[in-house]
């Protein structure tokens, strides 16, 4: 006699979900084949969703559409969560002014300039919304203005990262300004939507309770002794239980469910705060957990959201504008750019007017938040379907146009300045280039084989076709004495010949290569070239896997977030100080100190002197902070 343990219905129609997932799968493949990686994938997903929307929603049953809507909302929540997680709170905290404020210090402070930028944007958006209300009927000028002040860190950050600008002063200015815009705009339109729906009530204070909950969770996470918990988490993270993912989902749902009881318009704020909270605690574990969360979000839920945005896009809603549609769209597009470009002139004194205006164009990129704000406004009845459709259409347009304008107004020579030159496009060279790119470091590969050259270039890596024995190639890539040259052609003899050419013909000193045998090792040593013994490195790696597997995997699996760097102490204020008296960043540690020919492991009572070379291990943020302290 059969026993059914679960009462599951097998009559659900999976075909609509199949269509949506097929779109999500084929879009990035198509963009890769067309070499259109610079166009945000979500934009193409919206367009594809629109193209199949009518057919998808026509043949789908009511239950299927309801489930797709649920998955799309979950994707929306996940997107807000990842938006909060994307914000580097440490960078914002580090920007808090610590000295007497002067005009020069004010203009150099990303946090203060970001706040000023946001206030100017809000003021201009109010003026722009009022002027637009003279042309079309705007039920709420204030809410319309709030929609215009949104921006998109998710578009700005990848553009800056591809150009190697995320760690520079200008890049940090833009990232922190965009993060402030995200945080404050979400808070403002959440409170506004709540007041419009329910009015000024005592319950409005309950929304503030979300921030109280945020603070309570933060304090508990800081004060509780979590050693045992972390040990259990590590043991279960790679098992079927995936405890870190379950804990993250629990955190999201705690905030979302509590927000849901306050009002549907508060849900996105709850999801955003849960991501922001997790961002404060994700340091050493960030890369592994982020990889899993990105897989869940961008691999499944978030594409469904954007595809359903396209599927439910109603071009017929534009009919409400009659003959004023084109005029309204043009004026709205101009306003969306003006409210971001004018405040960007705050950056002109430091970075030049053209570069500042270019940054303003990039800041005008809008996507997820503008769609969120418009969707909530449509639900509240304070923006019309036509205005909602206009915002979606222009959001897609700005995400395509803004990065192109930024790159044209602010051209960068990838081959000039600080970079690592990699001679030989082997798998090792490509992997090294990718790892350097993750750290925000520039690199260029020299590859003689034409087919291999085009293959590497299609991966988005800077590469030139030519021989490492050709002096003209080094002129072309603008090799300077500060650049490291890594020679790895796959042939010991070729490596030696190129190293000799660099040493004798070009008089270059910073050369690194690899030896595969004692003969090659001796030749490289005579040329005074830094080299790695491949046999010894492999043996050491296997030894590490046997003797300290946990440490090895922790270092290898988190290489994109943590690295080792040597920094020479030149700050006179620190000269003679003990290590324990220096407020090093919590995500970094000094592991070695070299003074002259002596190297030792420091402790709290170790005194530091001008000229000491400190070997520091930590995150990019920690290394930036340590560099400022040691070099100021």
Q: What is the pLDDT of residues 163-195, one digit of tens each?
A: 667 656 787 788 788 878 877 887 888 788 878
Rounded Cα distance between 440 and 433, Å, is 11
Nearest to 427 by CA among 361, 490, 347, 369: 490
Query: What pairs with residue 592 in β-bridges?
Result: 615
**What integer is the mean pLDDT of 436-443?**
73
Per-residue confidence (pLDDT) for residue 361, from 0 to 100: 92
Rounded Cα distance between 239 and 232, Å, is 11
Per-residue confidence (pLDDT) for residue 413, from 0 to 100: 57
What's the chain's average pLDDT? 79
- Summarised one tens digit per residue, pLDDT across range 549-589 is 766 666 665 554 567 778 888 888 788 888 877 877 766 77
Q: Tokens 């809008």 — which residue?
A: 366
Per-residue confidence (pLDDT) for residue 562, from 0 to 100: 64
**What integer is the mean pLDDT of 361-373?**
83
> In terms of pLDDT, which residue wins out, 203 or 314?
314
**What integer is the mean pLDDT of 594-600?**
79
Domains annotated for the chain, with CATH where assigned, are 15-409 (1.20.1530.20), 420-541 (3.40.50.720), 561-631 (3.30.70.1450)
Per-residue confidence (pLDDT) for residue 228, from 0 to 100: 43
Task: Tell me which H or E stretch contains 447.
Answer: strand 443-447
Rounded Cα distance between 400 and 168, Å, is 24
Half-sphere exposure of residue 554: CA atoms within 13 angstroms, side-chain side: 11
**What integer is the mean pLDDT of 148-166?**
73
Q: How confident is the model at residue 130 (pLDDT cuts 50, 70, 90)?
A: very high
pLDDT over 70 at 3, yes or no: no
Q: Tokens 């960068």 — which residue?
A: 412
Highest mean pLDDT among 58-72, 280-294, 341-355: 341-355
**What integer is the mean pLDDT of 334-345?**
93
Per-residue confidence (pLDDT) for residue 38, from 0 to 100: 64
Between the CA of residue 250 and those of 9, 240, 243, 422, what are the distances in Å? 27, 17, 10, 45
Q: How confident is the model at residue 416 (pLDDT cuts 50, 70, 90)?
A: low
pTM: 0.62
Q: How confident is the model at residue 309 (pLDDT cuts 50, 70, 90)?
A: confident
Per-residue confidence (pLDDT) for residue 227, from 0 to 100: 47
128-137, 151-160, 325-334: segment of lowest average pLDDT: 151-160
Per-residue confidence (pLDDT) for residue 632, from 0 to 100: 65
Burial of 214 (0-12, 13-18, 19+ CB in 10 A): middle
Query: What pairs with residue 613 in β-bridges?
Result: 568, 594
Half-sphere exposure of residue 103: CA atoms within 13 angstroms, side-chain side: 3
> In terms of pLDDT, which residue wins out, 50 or 338?
338
The one-character DSSP state at 301 is: I
Q: Where does residue 611 fall: left (phi above 0), alpha (psi -120 to 50 degrees), or beta otherwise?
A: left
- Summarised one tens digit per residue, pLDDT across range 18-58 is 888 898 898 888 877 776 666 677 778 888 888 888 777 77
Per-residue confidence (pLDDT) for residue 117, from 0 to 100: 93
Per-residue confidence (pLDDT) for residue 167, from 0 to 100: 59
pLDDT over 70 at 410, yes or no: yes
133-147, 160-174, 276-290, 517-531: segment of lowest average pLDDT: 276-290
pLDDT over 60 at 230, yes or no: no
Per-residue confidence (pLDDT) for residue 95, from 0 to 100: 66
Q: How confident is the model at residue 162 (pLDDT cuts 50, 70, 90)?
A: low
What are the DSSP calls for 317-351, one per residue? Answer: GGGGGGGGHHHHHHHHHHHHHHHHHTGGGGGHHHH
Highest mean pLDDT among 75-84, 381-390, 432-441, 600-609: 381-390
For residues 377-407, one letter each, b for 16 or more C-beta atoms within 10 angstroms of the residue's C-beta and e for the rest, the string is bbebebbbebbbbbbbbbbbebbebbbebbb
pLDDT over 60 at 484, yes or no: yes
Per-residue confidence (pLDDT) for residue 80, from 0 to 100: 79
Rounded Cα distance between 171 and 160, Å, is 7
Per-residue confidence (pLDDT) for residue 457, from 0 to 100: 83
Q: How confident is the model at residue 322 (pLDDT cuts 50, 70, 90)?
A: confident
pLDDT over 50 at 263, yes or no: yes
**What integer is the mean pLDDT of 397-424?**
79
Per-residue confidence (pLDDT) for residue 183, from 0 to 100: 79
Per-residue confidence (pLDDT) for residue 345, from 0 to 100: 92
Q: How confident is the model at residue 284 (pLDDT cuts 50, 70, 90)?
A: very low
For the chain, the distance separating the N- and C-terminal CA atoms, rounded to the nearest angstrom, is: 80
> In terms of pLDDT, which residue wins out, 547 or 487?
487
For residues 349-363, one letter each, b for 16 or more C-beta atoms within 10 angstroms of the residue's C-beta and e for the rest, the string is eebeeebbbbbbbbb
Highest mean pLDDT among 42-46, 68-72, 427-431: 68-72
Per-residue confidence (pLDDT) for residue 285, from 0 to 100: 43
Radius of gyration of the chain (CA): 27
- Residue 227's SS3 state is helix
Rounded percentage of the chain residues whose pLDDT exceeds 70: 83
**What integer is the mean pLDDT of 134-157?**
83
Residue pair 552/587 in contact (Cβ under 8 Å)? The answer is no
pLDDT over 50 at 626, yes or no: yes
């Amino acid at each position: 006699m059969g026993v059914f343990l679960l009462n599951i219905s097998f009559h659900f129609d999976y075909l609509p979900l199949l269509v949506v997932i097929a779109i999500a799968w084929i879009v990035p493949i198509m963009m890769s084949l067309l070499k259109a990686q610079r166009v945000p994938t979500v934009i193409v997903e919206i367009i594809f969703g629109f193209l199949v929307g009518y057919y998808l929603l026509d043949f789908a049953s009511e239950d299927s559409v309801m489930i797709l809507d649920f998955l799309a909302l979950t994707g929306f929540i996940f997107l807000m969560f990842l938006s909060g997680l994307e914000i580097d709170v440490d960078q914002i905290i580090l920007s808090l002014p610590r000295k007497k404020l002067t005009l020069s210090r004010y203009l150099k402070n990303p946090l203060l300039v970001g706040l000023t930028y946001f206030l100017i944007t809000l003021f201009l958006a109010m003026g722009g919304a009022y002027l637009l209300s003279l042309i079309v009927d705007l039920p709420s000028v204030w809410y319309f203005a709030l929609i215009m002040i949104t921006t998109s860190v998710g578009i700005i950050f990848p553009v800056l990262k591809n150009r190697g600008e995320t760690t520079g002063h200008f890049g940090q200015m833009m990232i922190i300004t965009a993060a402030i815009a995200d945080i404050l705009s979400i808070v403002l339109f959440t409170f506004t939507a709540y007041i419009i729906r329910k009015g000024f009530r005592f319950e409005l204070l309950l929304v503030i309770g979300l921030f109280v909950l945020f603070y309570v969770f933060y304090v508990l996470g800081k004060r509780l002794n979590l050693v045992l918990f972390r040990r259990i988490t590590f043991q279960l993270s790679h098992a079927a239980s995936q405890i870190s993912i379950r804990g993250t989902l629990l955190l999201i749902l705690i905030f979302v469910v509590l927000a849901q009881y306050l009002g549907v318009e508060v849900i996105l704020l709850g999801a955003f705060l849960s991501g922001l909270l997790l961002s404060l605690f994700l340091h050493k574990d960030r890369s592994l957990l982020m990889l899993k969360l990105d897989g869940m979000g961008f691999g499944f839920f978030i594409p469904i959201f954007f595809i359903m945005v396209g599927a439910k896009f109603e071009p017929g809603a534009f009919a409400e504008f009659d003959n004023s549609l084109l005029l309204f769209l043009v004026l709205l597009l101009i306003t969306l750019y003006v409210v971001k470009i004018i405040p960007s002139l705050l950056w002109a004194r430091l970075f030049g007017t053209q570069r500042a205006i270019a940054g303003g164009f990039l800041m005008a990129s809008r996507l997820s938040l503008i769609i969120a704000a418009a969707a909530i406004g449509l639900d509240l009845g304070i923006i019309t379907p036509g205005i909602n459709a206009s915002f979606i259409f222009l959001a897609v347009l700005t995400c395509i146009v803004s990065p192109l304008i930024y790159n044209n107004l602010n051209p960068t020579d990838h081959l000039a300045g600080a970079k690592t030159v990699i001679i030989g496009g082997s798998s090792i060279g490509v992997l090294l280039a990718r790892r350097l790119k993750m750290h925000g470091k520039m690199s260029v590969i020299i590859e003689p084989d034409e087919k291999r050259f085009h293959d590497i270039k299609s991966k988005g890596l800077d590469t030139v076709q030519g021989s490492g024995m050709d002096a003209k190639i080094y002129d072309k890539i603008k090799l300077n004495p500060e650049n490291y040259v890594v020679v790895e052609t796959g042939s010991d003899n070729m490596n030696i010949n190129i190293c000799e050419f660099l040493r004798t013909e070009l008089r270059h000193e910073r050369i690194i290569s690899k030896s595969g045998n004692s003969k090659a090792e001796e030749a490289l040593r005579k040329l005074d070239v830094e080299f790695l013994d491949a046999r010894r490195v492999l043996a050491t790696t296997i030894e590490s896997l046997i003797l300290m597997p946990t440490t090895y995997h922790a270092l290898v699996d988190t290489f994109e977030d943590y690295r080792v760097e040597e920094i020479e102490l030149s700050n006179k204020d620190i000269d003679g100080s003990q290590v324990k008296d220096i407020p090093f960043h919590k995500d970094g540690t000094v592991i070695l100190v070299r003074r002259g020919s002596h190297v030792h492991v420091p402790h709290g009572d170790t005194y530091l002197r001008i000229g000491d070379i400190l070997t520091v291990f930590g995150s990019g943020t920690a290394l930036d902070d340590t560099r400022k302290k040691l070099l100021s």
